[in-house]
Amino acid sequence: MSGPAAAGRRQVHLAAQLPGIHNVTVWSDPRSKSQIAFDSFLHLARTAERGRFDFFFLAEGLRLREHKGELYDLDVVGRPENLTQLSALAAVTTRLGLAATVNATFNEPYEVARRLATLDHLSGGRSAWNVVTSFDAFTGENFRRGGFLAEADRYGRAAEFLATARELWDSWADGDVRADAAAGAFVRPGAGRFAHHGRHFDISGRFTTPRPPQGHPVIIQAGESDQGRDFAAAEADVVFSKYNRLDQARAFYRDVKGRLPRYGRGPDELKILPTAGVVVADSDAEAAAYADEITRAQVGPQTAIAHLEAVWGRDLSGYDPDGPLPDIDPEPDSLMLKGHSLFRRDRAETARRWRSLAAERGLSIRELVIEVTGGQTFVGTPRTVADAMDHFVQTGGADGFVLVPHLTPGGLDDFVARVVPLLQEKGVFRRDYTGPTLRDHLGLPHGPARAATDPTAEEAS
């Protein structure tokens, strides 16, 4: 995988996400295909595996967002269920990790642990769980729970949810499936027994699924708050980060990695992967022009006004997207965009910062939204992009990247064909997979081994 040129150099980890939220996808491009058809998922997953990526990731939304009471169609409308899609992909891939976002607010530990363990078995140890929480009663309406869980309790429930899932996976020991025909014993007596008694969950019984091949599926987390960062440092194997500008990324990286020792963990036990967009062309100038074209398609006039309304809480449809920001103040208690986590806090402060930035740089509404929502992360020739990604990782900005293409499903084809070979040439990216499981790809230890206990002692207790 690496030679003398890579001695002492950190390896770059890569993952791919099929975009399904925000305004990443340029669905108006004639090359853009279905966001729902399985062929789209299959194409992108196979491209990622051909590129020796660590994993393929699917986000999740439990309710379609609404803007002014109608579906927010700047998101991709239609969200197939993650674990079902990934289970199908397990049959047509061989090494690629399969990562699903599953909500810890509107699910139960037993069912989620069973489904993830099943995916781990189906894939030979390639499953991952992105643990998320929901903050709003709007999403809760789909579950008839409304605002049943205070926002301050989200991480408490998520931490107990994850701990309970791990107890369920650990209820089966390594070697519990005996299949000993001579002794007439298929499983060890007591296999799968569990009991959890806590604030959020009080359950006991028998877990149906034997121990996953990885021990525990890989755990992913994406919280940005102080509480979320602590949760990641304590519990996660991978962190998704939104910080893909190098100065901000380094600060986030130092902060989260610096929290690991208090939980008895080393810096290599947690991988930090910011999301990134990539534009590759034959020259840097051509790539820059194409990147600008993509960004302006992602943030069209309608999108710019919708983002502004999300912050201002007002109908701003009468404003010119290519004109100045409104001189009126936000309505603090008004929500024009429901189910969207962006810009939901401190909207008056957000408006103040946006006005300051727009005044300082002479930005229109649309130009401002492009600026604050970010453009493409890596832009240039294949060599320019490979060098920039390598520099980002070697200088403490990240352990790698989750690439989110603007086109579905062919948005990573050029990257895999033209950039991956250069990263391999530099000795910072694998030429082939070195193990069968996602934990192998990430360089993480497998879930703790659990030896079977004496069944006689169990039955006597």
Q: In this predicted model, what pLDDT tens digit does every residue of 417-450 receive, in sequence order?
A: 999 999 999 999 999 999 999 999 999 998 776 5
Same domain, 335 and 425: no
pLDDT confidence band for 12 (50 / 70 / 90):
very high
For the residues 54-60, what does the mean pLDDT come to?
A: 93
Stretch among 82-96, 174-188, 248-262, 355-369 having the lowest mean pLDDT = 174-188
Residue 454 pLDDT class (50, 70, 90 cuts): very low
**Are 438 and 126 spatial neighbours (Cβ–Cβ below 8 Å)?**
yes
Q: Answer yes or no: is pLDDT of 50 > 50.
A: yes
Please tell me the predicted confidence (pLDDT) of residue 288. Answer: 97
Q: 354, 373, 392 — which closes off a domain?
A: 373
Three-state secondary-structure class, residue 296: helix
Which pLDDT value is given to residue 318? 94
Are residues 154 and 213 located together in one domain of the fold? yes
150 C-beta neighbours (distance < 10 Å), count: 10
Looking at the fold, whether 251 and 123 belong to one and the same domain comes out as yes
How far is the C-alpha of 187 from the C-alpha of 175, rounded, in Å? 9
Instruction: Specify the pLDDT at position 5.
Output: 43
Provide the pLDDT confidence category of residue 77 given band limits of 50, 70 and 90.
low
Residue 174 domain-assigned (yes or no): yes
Q: Is the pLDDT of residue 204 over 60?
A: yes
* Interval 224-238 mean pLDDT: 92
pTM score above 0.85: yes
Longest dimension (CA), the chain: 83
Q: Are residues 199 and 60 in the same domain?
A: yes
Q: What is the pLDDT of residue 287?
A: 98
Name the H helices within 70-216: 82-90, 109-123, 137-140, 154-169
Q: What pLDDT does 128 receive? A: 98
Radius of gyration of the chain (CA): 23
Q: Which residues of 394-418 are buried (b: 16+ CB within 10 A; e: fewer)?
A: eebbbbbbbbbbbbbbebbbbbbeb
271 and 197 within one domain: yes
238 with 118, same domain: the answer is yes
Q: Is residue 392 part of a domain?
A: yes
- Domain assignment of residue 173, yes or no: yes
Per-residue pLDDT reduced to its tens digit, 244-274 = 999 999 999 999 999 999 999 999 999 999 9
Q: Are residues 296 and 348 in the same domain?
A: yes
What number is the average pLDDT over the span 315-324? 95
CB 406 within 8 A of CB 24: yes
Contacts of 369 (CB under 8 A, 6+ apart): 299, 303, 304, 307, 308
User: Which residues constitute the domain of residue 293?
Assistant: 286-373
Q: Quick one: 59 and 23 in the same domain?
A: yes
Which residues are paired to 400 by β-bridges? 13
pLDDT range class, residue 282, cuts 50, 70, 90 = very high
**Does residue 273 sit in the same domain as residue 290?**
no
CATH value at residue 96: 3.20.20.30
Residue 312's pLDDT band (cuts 50, 70, 90): very high
Please indicate, yes or no, if residue 258 is contained in any of the structural domains.
yes
Res 341: pLDDT: 64
CB 172 within 8 Å of CB 134: no
Under DSSP, is residue 356 helix (H, G, I), strand (E, B) or coil? helix
Q: Which of 341, 373, 405 is the last residue of a domain?
A: 373
Percent of the chain with pLDDT over 70: 92
381-402 pLDDT, tens digit per residue, is 999 999 999 999 999 999 999 9
Q: Going by DSSP bridges, is the β-strand pair 218-221/127-132 parallel, antiparallel, or unpaired?
A: parallel
Query: Has residue 108 been placed in a domain?
Result: yes
Do 114 and 176 fall within a single domain?
A: yes
> 29-33, 39-43, 76-80 — which is least confidently predicted?
76-80
Residue 248 CA to its chain's centroid (Å): 19
Q: Express as a percent the part of the chain with pLDDT over 90.
A: 67
State the chain's mean pLDDT as an integer.
Answer: 89
| pLDDT mean over 445-461 | 50
pLDDT digits (tens, 9 = 90+) for 330-371: 887 777 777 766 666 678 888 999 999 999 999 999 999 999
Give me the pLDDT at residue 456, please: 32
Please count the residues of the chain: 461
- Give the Cα separation of 259 and 239 in Å (integer): 13
Give the Cα separation of 317 and 339 in Å (integer): 20
Q: Do 221 and 193 reside in the same domain of the chain?
A: yes
Tokens of 142: 């789909």
Per-residue pLDDT, 148: 67
Residue 448 lies in a domain: no
Q: Which residues are 66's β-sheet partners?
A: 71, 338
Please report, to the nearest 10 degrees, the dihedral formed by the alpha carbons of residues 308, 314, 315, 320 taken in order: -40
User: Among 384, 411, 383, 388, which Cα is nearest to 401's?
Assistant: 388
Alpha-carbon distance values, 108 to 144, 165, 204, 328, 348 (Å) = 15, 9, 13, 44, 36
Q: Give domain status of residue 458, yes or no.
A: no
pLDDT tens digit string along 370-379? 998 877 899 9
| Poorest-pLDDT segment among 5-19, 46-60, 310-324 | 5-19
Distance between CA atoms of 389 and 305, rounded to whole angstroms? 33
Structure confidence at residue 392 (pLDDT): 98
- Both 336 and 424 in a single domain? no
CB 424 within 8 A of CB 148: no
Number of domains the chain is built from: 2
Separation of alpha carbons 126 and 115, rounded Å: 13
- The confidence score (pLDDT) of residue 364 equals 97
Three-point CA angle 186, 188, 189, nearest 5°: 115
- Which DSSP symbol is given to 237? S
